[in-house]
Structure 1
Amino acid sequence: MGAEREALKAWVVEALARNGGEAHLLVVARDIWAHHEQELRGAGDLFFSWQYDMRWACTALREKGIVLPANKSGIWTLADRGSAP
């Protein structure tokens, strides 16, 4: 079973939570790969675009107030860091 583009939103939130509520986008990408490699490999075209789509997912999460506005350093931060482990 492959991954869907929409799943990336949850995966971004999960990756940020696993990294204390904030992480550089490269750390998020590595975390998603570490936890969802098989799903990505079975995702058809998403396998070739998932890192771009991960950025799209983060933008959608920002619009919903789940992730804070981007900063120039590439650090993504959950708005509610209290829910991060």
Structure 2
Amino acid sequence: MVTREDMKGWIIECLQSRGGSRWPKDVARYVWESYEKELRLSGDLLYTWQYDLRWAAQRLRYSGILKPVNGRRDLPWELS
């Protein structure tokens, strides 16, 4: 079953395959197109996965894998 922790890898995978930087909506599109089946089979996560994706991105920022955005919403997600 898919967890929030799995989403960290999906974000990294997306950004690495797309030049290191993408807008959150583009990452969400990538995740849906690549992992729709897993999300549909994940129980309640199906209804919260976009929130959980943002949670995972924040955890990646805390660990230094993503660049900080300092509360701004006008910056893409970017690998450090």
Q: Identify whether the pair has TM-score above 0.5, normalized to the shorter chain.
A: yes
TM-score by length of 2: 0.91
Q: Matched residue pairs, number?
A: 78
Q: Please state whether the residue corresponding to 1:67 is helix, strand or coil.
A: coil
Q: Please state whether the residue corresponding to 2:8 is helix, strand or coil.
A: helix
1:17, distance to aligned residue in structure 2 (A):
1.1
Matched residue, 2:24: 25
TM-score by length of 1: 0.86
1:74, distance to aligned residue in structure 2 (A):
3.9
1:4, distance to aligned residue in structure 2 (A):
1.5
**Deviation beyond 4 Å, 4+ runs, structure 1:** none
Unaligned runs of 5+ in 2: none
Unaligned runs of 5+ in 1: 80-85
Identity %: 42
Indicate the RMSD between aligned Cα atoms, in angstroms: 1.0
Contact 1:25 1:74 in 2 (8 A): no
Question: Cα deviation per residue 1:24-44 (whole Å; 9 max; x = unaligned)?
Answer: 000000001111110000000
